Amino acid sequence: MASVRRADSVASIAHTANAMLEDIPDTAMVFVAVDSNAINHARVELYGPAKLRGGRMATLVHPKSYVAPDAQLGDNVWIAPGTNIGRRGKIGSDVLINAGARIDTQVQIGMHGWIGAGASIGAATELAAHCVLGADVRLGAGLTIGKYCVMTQPGVWTTSLPSGTFIEPGYTTPARMIGAGYTWQARRA
């Protein structure tokens, strides 16, 4: 029997993670998720303790999505309807891929990622851990996207990005995250 447990806020997750997992048997199947209004990184605060307790993490693939037979999926992966995962793709643990996303052949997505609805990732592109791609973000082929990148500006991107790059509709230029929260620095040419 499935049960849903909800934290009062994203900020409270770190303090309540163990309590939320307390009554769940060690042999139970667990899936950790946070809604799209919460920052992707908060999900790690539940995933980590659940994994450390020895929990078996579920991977959920919607029957109206396609995952190539030779694609590799980590644990606690959620694949929404209409998603297409191409041949020889590698999806790390704790990744959410929303409806209609297209992941081309040989794409690698690191742990704790969030791929928005309708986003697409070109062949042989690598996303490092903790990357967030918003809805309708389109990455070209053969790119390398560093850790902790947040790209929510819809559009086509054809250049690799260093770790910590922040591309948001409210900013006129890509920025680099340099501290906690939304402290940012314009990227230098």
pLDDT at 146 over 50: yes
Reported as a single tens digit per residue, the pLDDT across 35-84 is: 443 556 667 778 888 888 887 889 999 999 999 999 999 999 999 999 99
Domain 60-186 CATH superfamily: Hexapeptide repeat proteins (2.160.10.10)
- For residue 81, CA distances in Å to 19, 44, 78, 90, 107 come to 32, 23, 10, 19, 19
Q: What's the average model confidence in pLDDT over 128-145?
A: 95
Domain residue spans in the chain? Answer: 10-57, 60-186
What is the Cα–Cα distance from 156 to 167, expressed in whole angstroms?
A: 12
Q: Identify the pLDDT of residue 24.
A: 73
The verdict on pTM exceeding 0.85 is no
Percent of the chain with pLDDT strictly greater than 90: 49
